[in-house]
Amino acid sequence: MVKRKFAFIFPGQGSQYVGMGRKLYEAHPEIKAIFEMADDILGFKISDLCFNGPEDKLRLTENTQPAILLVSIAAYSYMEMRSNIITKADFLSGHSLGEYSALVVSGSLKLEDALKLVRARGKYMQEAVPVGEGAMAAILGADDSLVEDVCLEVTKKWGYVAPANFNSPGQIVISGKIEAVNKAIELLKAKGVKRAVLLPVSAPFHSELMVDAGKRLHNDFNEINIKAMTIPVVSNVTGKPYENEESIKKLLIDQITKPVRWVDCVKYMYSNGVRDFIEIGPGKVLSGLVKRICEDVNVYALEHPSEIDIFLENLKQE
């Protein structure tokens, strides 16, 4: 019998919502302790922000990032605590911020350190470009090469814009100066692209405009002890696993200015035998993307204790 290969994948910014994590908090004292530890580490009640909002405060990048990380690790911890069936994934990965969750699960980063890092990361990314100067837009139904060519054309004539996320075939996000992003949308629509829409984000993430954020985060990493991974983690920057712990710091800093190559990440794991992708954390965004990248896979979105319990029970019976 061929062993099933599992990948645990972790969501990034955009998956947050008011109320997330509450059921996990109430499910078990050990999970409650994780939320209380995060409150102490960050110096404010991030647990209350997750459970009760307000939404506009939860949506602030410096709050969103540690909040999603916290809920993702709480969900993983609940699953680990309940299961003696699926103790270890074959691969881990995450979308942007979600890569930090993957590295915590791999044993490379301590949760306490990861919470501080992503809190700082969100703050630095927000402050790198003044509000109103940058933008991001989703381009739907276009070939990668067309989007890349249009971005190069616009950058030469009107200002910087570049692909930021390769999310799935026909779904690319671009990022850059607001005038350049709008011009790219205009040109892409003129070339037959049916949908190109501005996203409700506050900064041009995963672009060269984030260089200052990367430099600032570099200093924070100097205070962090990075350990060897116990499970391979697939990097957004390369679409391949980190080679060693020395590469983690470099690639996480590069990730701020480089595009998220989510298609490459999923295809790498698929090519190495993974047919079961388990999204752990708030929302179901990655489950949808994975299914569009590789149709013949199983996807599971696990966030609430009841979802995790049902999944584990079904797995036990297979």
Helix (H) or strand (E) holding 8: strand 5-10
56 class by beta-carbon count within 10 Å (0-12 exposed, 13-18 middle, 19+ buried):
exposed
- What is the spatial distance between Cα 198 and Cα 178, in angstroms, rounded to a whole number? 10
- What is the spatial distance between Cα 79 and Cα 28, in angstroms, rounded to a whole number? 11
Strands (E), 73-209: 91-94, 134-140, 161-168, 171-177, 195-198
**Residues marked as catalytic:** 96, 206
Q: Is 234 helix (H, G, I), strand (E, B) or coil?
A: strand
- What is the spatial distance between Cα 148 and Cα 160, in angstroms, rounded to a whole number? 12
Distance in angstroms between the alpha carbons of the first and the last residue of the chain: 13
DSSP 281: S
